[in-house]
Amino acid sequence: MIVELGHFCVVIACLLAFLQVVLPSIGLKQNSLQLMASASSLAYGVFVFTLLGFLALIYAFLMDDFSVAYVASHSNTRLPLQFKVSALWSAHEGSFLLWTLVMSIWTMMVARFSAPLTTDMRARVLICLAALGFGFYLFLLLTSNPFERALPFFPAEGADLNPLLQDFGLIVHPPLLYMGYVGLSVPFAFAIASLWGNTLDVSWARWSRPWTNLAWAFLTMGITLGSWWAYYELGWGGWWFWDAVENASFVPWLIATALIHSLAATEKRGVFKSWTVLLAIFGFSFSLLGAFLVRSGVLTSVHAFAVDPERGAAILMFLVPVIGGSLLLYSARAWDLRSRVSFKRSGRESFILGNNVLLTVSAAVVLLGTLYPLGYEALTGGDKISIGPPYFNAVFVPLMLVLMALMILSHRSRWWATERSLLTAGQGVFSVIAGVAAIGLSVAMGPIKLWIVGVAWLAMMIVLNLGYELYRRVRLKSNPVRRLLSQPLAVYAMVLGHAGIAVTALGIVTTVMMSEEADLYMAPGDRAELGAFDVRFYGTKNVEGPNYVADRGRVEVLREGEVIATLYPEKRRYLASQSIMTEADIHVRSLGDIYVALGEPLENGAWAVRVHIKPLVRFIWFGGVLIALGGVLSIFDRRYRVPMLRSSKQGTLAPSVEAAHG
Amino acid sequence: MAKQSVLIPVFVFAGIIVLLWFGFQLSDPHLLPSQKLNDPVPDFELPNLMQADQTLTAVDLTGEVSLLNVWATWCPSCIAEHGELTRIFETTGLRIIGVNYNDDSKAARAWLKRWGDPYAFHIVDESGTLAIDLGVYGAPETFVVDADGVIRYRHVGVVTQKVFEETLTPLIQNLKDAS
Amino acid sequence: MSGRWVLAVALLWCLSAPGLAAIEAQAFPDETVKARYYDLIATLRCPQCLNTNLAGSDAMIAQNLRATVLRLLIEGKSDAEVERFMFERYGDFILYEPRWTAKTWLLWLGPLGLALIGLSVWWSMSASSRKTRHGLSESDRASLKRLIDR
């Protein structure tokens, strides 16, 4: 009954979303403020009913209601509680319900924090969001209903959640990633609404920025967590494989990264207007395209959902009007948006343009490599080609190196033009410091590698230039500390984000160049040497988990004869599915990970044991977290906070508050 | 910059959609085209499953049109396929040659005892070398080999009655007519 | 593998397909062979899996192919010969690094072309007319003022 009610709630949410498109549209036509304003109240309604539907499905999971087909195929009575909840979004139907919930959350947030917008602009933004939402609900209800019952013959026991997914990663990764994917619909809606209402002025950029930054921060966090999850869960020590599904999240990230920069230039200087609008459209379009491709199965991926090719048609029917329509609208209006503004090659606009060019080209290159196999197969009549890490690394890495080099100088740049002396001051000294530090790092890691020296030099230069920029901002002030603290949060957001890039780059290059791996034959008591470490294996014993049994190995890691860690990698057999899982154990050190996984049992209690040494691998995700934090921090900058806060007090305290902020 | 340049994004998108449209029409991403079509069966020297002292070579595959079926006891769909292979042999008398792939010969003989043996003979490919030379990537896989020992077709997955009658039979008939 | 293809197992973007990381203790004659072996199994694709390299799969065929790679290396074959061997049997699909052919030149030159287009866009835009010092148009200024004054 609860499940049917949940289904019904989602149907209501769908209808409300429809009303949220229709009523304010009529309002716009008839110039009725009341009808226009209905968009915000309806946004709350949509959210509440989606949430109820979502809770109903959680309830079905918690109650082990295996008459619901989706629950039966993704849960089990023995599944631990937290995984029963996260199992909800472990496959296509449920995760799409999560998608619609996230959509309703963003729409509600926009309704909540956009009061200072003019009523018609606000209505247009909400109409765009509601129209997207309506499409999602239709797709959910018509092609992917998670509430469907398998009556009258339903199983007494569920098939269980794929053991790979029985992990903390599943709990946090999809919600964050979806917050990012779907969050990009907000700048998209702002862009479309402005094109539609012909109100594309600078305030549009100002309004889009915090939303874009927040969505982008979520996307960053989602990708970072996904990479980390893959690393510790899959047992091969990899953290990125240029898989189609990874690329599907990376392309929107690259575009959104370009967008947050071009939005800054548009807001501050009025440049790149039409380009920024285009990026806002493309950012969300690619997040849609990517997220839907994953579900259509058209791209071969290790992460693919179980798919139904007939869903493909429904997906295209959704994508073509949404993206095609937006781009046509854009092409109708964009010509008038040309900015008559200029800047010099040394100006900050020029650096931001360079950033945008590089990021867009990178996104296009990743897209090319991801879609090329499709075109190849279509044109050759069935031949298959694989495009993997060797290709992507070869074409992507050079672009990123140029981007990092550009980033070094960008911190010194000023709007319109930058004096040469400002760009070059102190760079000689910095170069030497960065060079020494880079060589030092490489030597500390082992035999010297040019790649590490080069990338570390770029990373150090970025950090030094960031520091210099902060120093320059306070050096002539009477109270530097106070002055430092009173810098706008946006400055710190930028510092965090850029420093994060440096940290991630350092982690990537070191891990790639210096990792060591060995698959060892180890009998109990055996020792092996790997890099600076000794590894000693003490055999395995049987342990029982809530829904699995496992062989748990004991491995001691020694350095110079001292035991520095004891690790317990497991080989698990999950009872419901009888699938075997490798659960690696990782010793985390500041300078790198020691990663141990059990392979196959061999004769006489011996095992194949895989040991990885992964220097600085944590830097990759730590940098990602810094970048995301930068994004979050930026939205608390006073310039955005003031209008937002104002909206929360709208109507009541308006005059005095407005005076205070005026 | 020409005014038409604002249409570039529309064209880019249209291109992607056309590509995806093709993508949706494509067949199973699991099916790899065989690299060995119209090549002779690669050379091998491997024992006969039922007579371990007899060495089989590519020459043993010539003489008449045959099905070369890669199977193993660890492959559950091979059991599903076995009934159809038996039916094919009983109704058409087509020569079916087994490649016992990555398997334990003793278990394989027991398996054949249990399910019956419609095969002319089995090549023991314990370490999978012949299978790799054939470009096999799973079991079951079935090759149509003509009388000269040249590979003419590969089917990946279970040979069902439908596959046999609609795809393999006309092909085999053509090959028989040609020789 | 029926007519309607149902893609495997898993979800989202963090899941490996049927096989998990393959861990087996191989005996290498020397460190060079070991390094070359790991490089090769990282850049050769498991033909049966969805999208994993030979190193990352436990599928039967991946195990066989890994053993074959090692055997060929021990026999003294060069990396290119090993790749050739695999290509002859499994086609372009098995090579994660696409070969340079008449059908892949666009793949390899495309990025270069895009980069050049990007460079020229940057060059022409940042050099173009330098008439106005201030970026904001009158209407922009007005709306910004409205926003601030509200």
Which CATH number is C47's domain given? 1.10.8.640
Strands (E), A107-195: none
> Does one domain contain both A248 and A208?
yes
Chains near A with 3+ CB pairs less than 8 A apart are B, C
Do the domain assignments include residue A426? no
* DSSP code per residue over A429-457: HHHHHHHHHHHHHHHHHSS--HHHHHHHH
Based on the fold, state whether residues A120 and A200 are members of the same structural domain.
yes
Cα–Cα distance measured from residue A270 to residue A262, given in angstroms and rounded to the nearest whole number: 10
Q: How far apart are CA A513 and CA A505, in angstroms?
A: 12
- Give me the pLDDT at residue A662, please: 30
CB contacts of C134 in chain A (<8 Å) are 341
Q: Which residues of chain A have pLDDT under 70?
A: 297-310, 641-662
Q: How far apart are CA B119 and CA A141, in angstroms?
A: 51
Whether residue A271 and residue C126 make contact (CB cut-off 8 A), yes or no, is: no
Interface mutation target, options B6, B28, B34, chain A, most CBs of A under 10 Å: B6
Q: Chain A to chain C, count of Cβ pairs less than 8 Å apart?
A: 256
Instruction: For chain C, say whether A225 makes contact (Cβ under 8 Å).
Output: no
- Is the predicted pLDDT of residue C13 greater than 60, yes or no? no
Same domain, A643 and A558: no
d(Cα A99, Cα A175) in Å, to the nearest integer?
Answer: 8
B29 touches chain C (CB under 8 A): yes
Residue A206 sits at the chain C interface (C-beta within 8 Å): yes
pLDDT of residue A179: 97
Same domain, A643 and A569: no
Tens of pLDDT, residue by residue over A22-56, are 999 999 999 999 999 999 999 999 999 999 999 99
- Is residue A390 within 8 Å of A328, Cβ to Cβ? no
Distance in angstroms (rounded) separating the CA atoms of residues A635 and A626: 15
Output the average pLDDT for chain C: 77
**Over 80: is that where the pLDDT of B51 sits?**
yes
Range of the domain at A601: 516-618
Residue A487 lies in a domain: no
C53 within a domain of the structure (yes/no): yes
Q: Name every residue whose Cβ is closer than 8 Å to that of residue A435 and which is 6 or more positions away in sequence.
A: A453, A457
Distance (Å) from the C-alpha of residue A552 to the closest C-alpha of chain C? 16
The helix, strand and coil proportions of chain B, stated in percent and rounded to the nearest 5, come to 45, 20, 35
CATH level 2 (architecture), domain B33-178: 3-Layer(aba) Sandwich (3.40)
Residues A296 and A315 sit within 8 Å (Cβ to Cβ):
yes
**Whether ipTM exceeds 0.85:** yes
Tell whether A307 and A358 lie within a shared domain: yes
On the question of pLDDT at C134 being above 80, the answer is: no
- Other chains touching B, judged by 3 or more CB pairs under 8 Å: A, C
Note whether A312 contacts B24, CB cutoff 8 Å.
yes
**Does C63 map to a domain?**
yes
Do A637 and A550 belong to one domain?
no
Helix pair angle (A348-380, B8-25), 10° resolution: 30
pLDDT over threshold 50, residue C18: no
Confidence of residue B81 (pLDDT cuts 50, 70, 90): very high
User: Does any domain span residue C150?
Assistant: no
Nearest-angstrom CA–CA distance, C102 and A620: 37
- Report the pLDDT value the prediction gives residue A600, as an integer from 0 to 100: 83
Which among B32, B33, B102 is the nearest to C60, CB-wise? B102
| Nearest-neighbour CA in chain B from C108: distance (Å) | 19
Q: Are residues A112 and A42 in the same domain?
A: yes
Q: Fill in the amino acid letter for A586.
A: I
Quickly count: other Cβ atoms within 10 Å of residue B43's Cβ: 10
| Total domain count, chain C | 1
Three-state SS for B118?
Answer: coil
Same domain, A643 and A546: no
Judge contact between B134 and C47, C-beta under 8 A.
no
Q: Which two tokens stand for residue A229?
A: 């999850």
Q: Do A298 and B26 touch (CB under 8 A)?
A: yes
**Long-range CB contacts (within 8 A, 24+) of B55-59:** B56/B121, B56/B123, B58/B149, B59/B149
Per-residue confidence band for B3, with pLDDT thresholds at 50, 70 and 90: confident
Q: Do residue A179 and residue A44 come from a single domain?
A: yes
Which tens digit of pLDDT belongs to each residue from B86-135? 999 999 999 999 999 999 999 999 999 999 999 999 999 998 999 999 99
Asked whether residue A34 is assigned to any structural domain, the reply reads yes
pLDDT for residue C15: 31
Q: Which of A456, A458, A463, A462 is nearest to A439 (CA)?
A: A456
What b/e string do you get for A90-105 counting C-beta neighbours within 10 Å, with b at 16 or more?
A: bbbbbbbbbbbbbbbb
My answer on whether A377 and A327 are in the same domain is yes
**A175 and C CB contact within 8 Å:** no
With CB atoms and an 8 Å threshold, state whether A328 touches B29.
no
User: Which residues of C fall within a CB distance of 8 Å from B35?
Assistant: 87-91
Q: Is C102 on the interface with B (CB under 8 A)?
A: no
The size of the A-B interface in CB pairs under 8 A is 68
B132 touches chain C (CB under 8 A): yes
Within A486-535, where are the H helices? 489-514
Nearest CA in chain C to A242: C51
B/e letters for A358-370, b = 16+ CB within 10 Å, e = fewer, are: bbbbbbbbbbbbb
Whether B76 has its CB under 8 Å from any CB of chain A: the answer is no
Q: C60 vs B138: CB contact, 8 Å cut-off?
A: yes
Q: Return the DSSP state at A339.
A: -
- In chain C, % of residues over pLDDT 90: 47
Examine the pLDDT at C14 and tell me if it is beyond 60.
no
**What are the sequence ranges of the domains in chain B?**
33-178
pTM comes to 0.91
- Whether pLDDT at C8 is above 50: no
Pairing of strands A562-567, A548-559: antiparallel
Domain residues for the domain of C63 are 32-94
- Contact: B127, C67; criterion CB under 8 Å: yes
Model confidence at C72: pLDDT above 70: yes
The tally of domains found in chain A comes to 2
Any domain includes A437: no
What does C82-133 look like in DSSP terms, one character per residue?
A: HHHHHHHHHGGGGBSS----TTTHHHHHHHHHHHHHHHHHHHHHHHS----S
Q: How far is B89 from chain A (nearest CA, A)?
A: 31
Tell me the three state secondary structure of residue A532.
coil
Residue C109 located in a structural domain? no
Instruction: Give chain A's end-to-end CA distance (angstroms, integer).
Output: 54
Same domain, A611 and A640: no
Residue A560, φ and ψ in degrees, nearest 5: 50, 45
Residues of chain B with pLDDT > 70, as a percent, come to: 96
CB contact set of A162 (below 8 Å; sequence gap of 6+): A74, A90, A577, A579, C9, C10, C11, C15
End-to-end alpha-carbon separation of chain B, Å?
Answer: 66
How do residues A354-398 score in pLDDT, each as one tens digit?
A: 999 999 999 999 999 999 998 898 888 888 899 999 999 999 999
